[in-house]
Chains A and B, each alone.
Chain A
C-alpha cells in the first residue's frame, strides 16, 4: 500500500485497523490453546486484560480532558470494599463486586469536592495527592482494614451455572482468563456505546473547548462529574475483580503507583483520543514487560513504562493507535496533550 497523504480520506485506514483488531481478538480468544497449558502465560495475560480494562475506564475521564494520576484510589477502594465485605460477612463476591463500584463512586465524590474547579495539570496533581488519603487510612485503620498486613485468603470467584453449563472461574487459570476477557469485551462495548452517544460527544466538546461547549448549553460540570463517577466505579469494580482473582491484597499494592501509572502510560502510548488504543497498549506492553524485561532485569524492569511514556509524549503524542486512525474517532487538532 502506498502512503496516504494527510488530506486524503481517512476511511482508507479503516480496513487495516479492523484487521488488526480482529486478529488481536482471535489471538486473545485462542490464547489458552496457543499457550499450550502454560499457566504463567495465561496469568500474565489475565493481568494485562485487567490493566486494559482499567485503562479503558481511566480513558472515560480523559476523554473529557481530565488526566488522573491517581486511579489507584478507586481501584484500591474497590478491592478493599469487596475483599472486606466478602471476608467478614461471607457474602458471595458476585454481590460484593457491584458494591465495590458504589464505594469507588463515593470516593469519586470526595475527589470531586476538591477537584471540581481544577483543570489540566492541577487536576492531575490533585489526583496524585488524593491517593495518599485512602492509602494512609487503610494502612492505619487496623480495626477496619487489618492495616498494612493486608487481606489474606480472600474468597475466589464462585463458579457460574447456566442450565446444564457450568463455568468454573476461580479454580483454573483458563476460567479466570476467560472471565476477565468476557468482562473486558463487555466493558469495551459499553464504553464504545457511551462515547459514541451524545454523552461522549459532550465530553469531547468539553475537552476541546470548554467555554464554547458551555455556550452551546452543555452542562459542563454535570458531564465532568458523570465521567468521573463512571470512570471511578468501573475502576472500583475492576479492583474488586483483581482482589478475588489474586485472593490477596495489601495497601501498598492496590494503592501503589502500578495501578495509578499504568492506565496513564497505556492511554498515552495507545492513543488518548481513541477507544481501543489504551487497551491495545496494555495488552502489548504488559506482556512485553513480563516476558522480556522482567527476566532480563528483575529489579527495575518497569523502567520500560517510564521510557515508553517519555518517547510517546515527545515523538507520538496521539499514540500509536491514534496515529493509525487519525481523524477517525475525533479530530486531533494539535496532536498534543491538552
Chain B
C-alpha cells in the first residue's frame, strides 16, 4: 500500500511543482504576489474542458489554446500590476485578491458552478511494472510535469535569457546596472508564467474537479511550495512539491479525502511561523 502512496505522492508532488513554478517565477522577478494564480489555472482548465466537451479535441491538443488564453490574460495582468506602487507585495496581494473574485465570478457566469472533469477513459487504465502499478493518468502527469520542469531548468540555467532572469531575481538594481532590461524581464516572467499556468490548467482539469472556487487550493499549494523553496531554485521546488504531495497522499489514506485541503494550509502556516520574513528571507522595510 505504501508504494501506492509514494507513487501518488510523487506524481501529485511533481504536478504541484509545476503549479508553483509559474508563481515562483513571477514573484521572484517582479515581487508580485499573485493570489489569483489558482484562478488562472482553473480558468485554463475550463478553456481545455470547453474545447474537449464541445469540439471533442483531445486533451493534449487543448494545451495550445489554454496557453494562448492565459498568455493574453497574464499580459493584461502584468500591465495592471506594473501600475502599483511600493510596497509591491502588500499592494499586489490586495489587487490580486480582487482579481481572484473577478475571475471566480466570470467563470461562474460562463461555465456555471457545476463540477466539471475532463474525463479521458484511457487515463484510468493501469500500467503494471515490476513492483509498482500506476495509471496512465499518473504517468502522463508525471511525464509532462517533469518534462516542463526540466525545460524550464534548461531555460533558466543554460541560456543567456535565463541568466538575465536569474540575475533579476537575485538583485534587481545590480541587474539593471549590468544593462539588463528589468521591466522587460518582468513582462517575460509573466509570459513564461502564463505558459506554465496554461500547461497546468488542462492537467488540473483532468485530475481534479473544476469549479469556480477551486483556485484557492491551487494558490495555497503554489505559495506553500514557493515559501518552502524560495524563488529560482527548481530543485528545491521539486523537493517541496514532493513533500507536499506525499503529505497529502498520506492524509488521504489515513484520514480520508475530505481532510486533504487541510494539509497545504497547515504546512503553509507552519512554514510562515518558521520563516516569518517570507520568501525573500530578509527583513521587510
| A residues in contact (CB < 8 Å) with B | 67, 69, 113-122, 124-126, 128-130, 132-133, 136, 139-140, 257, 261, 264-265, 268, 297, 299-303, 305-310, 313-314, 317, 334, 336-338
Contact = CB atoms under 8 A, between A and B. Distances in A.
A122 B278 contact: yes
B284 A313 contact: no
Contacts of A69: 93, 97
A336 B86 contact: yes
30 contacts: A114-B269, A114-B270, A116-B273, A117-B276, A120-B284, A121-B90, A121-B92, A122-B272, A125-B33, A125-B223, A128-B220, A129-B268, A132-B265, A133-B262, A136-B258, A136-B262, A257-B213, A264-B94, A299-B112, A299-B113, A300-B105, A300-B109, A306-B98, A306-B103, A306-B104, A309-B95, A313-B91, A314-B83, A336-B91, A337-B90
Given A334-B85, A336-B87, 7 more contacts: A115-B272, A121-B33, A136-B261, A136-B265, A303-B102, A306-B99, A310-B80
Contacts of A302: 101, 104-105
Interface of B: 33, 35, 80, 83-87, 89-95, 97-109, 112-113, 213, 216, 220, 223, 256, 258-259, 261-262, 264-266, 268-270, 272-273, 276-278, 284
B108 A299 contact: yes
B90 to A, nearest CB: 5
A300 B276 contact: no
Contacts, number: 144
Contacts of B35: 128
The CB with the most chain A CB atoms within 10 A, among B87, B92, B256, B269, is that of B269
B112 A306 contact: no
A302 B264 CA distance: 27
Contact of B89 (A120, A264, A297): A120
B266 A133 contact: yes
B25 to A, nearest CB: 18
Given A119-B284, A303-B101, A338 B112 contact: no
Contacts of B92: 121
Given A136-B261, A310-B102, A126 B94 contact: no
Nearest to A148: B258
A313 to B, nearest CB: 5
A263 B209 CA distance: 29
Contact of A114 (B99, B272, B284): B272
Contact of B272 (A125, A299, A301, A317): A125
Contacts of B106: 300, 303
A313 B94 contact: yes
B109 A297 contact: yes
A306 B105 contact: yes
Contacts of B264: 129
B261 A132 contact: yes
Contacts of A126: 268-269, 272
Contacts of B90: 67, 120-121, 124, 337-338
A257 B94 CA distance: 14
B276 A129 contact: no
Nearest to B100: A306
Contacts of B80: 310, 314
A309 B94 contact: yes
Nearest to A335: B85
A67 to B, nearest CB: 7
Contact of A130 (B99, B107, B259, B269): B269
Given A118-B272, A126-B268, A133-B265, A313 B101 contact: no
5 A-B pairs with least C-beta separation: A306-B102, A300-B109, A306-B101, A117-B276, A309-B98
B269 A129 contact: yes
Contacts of B94: 67, 264, 268, 309, 313, 337
Contacts of B101: 257, 261, 265, 302-303, 305-306, 309
A313 B284 CA distance: 21
Contact of A313 (B84, B108, B256, B276): B84
A220 to B, nearest CB: 14
B164 to A, nearest CB: 26
A126 B90 CA distance: 13
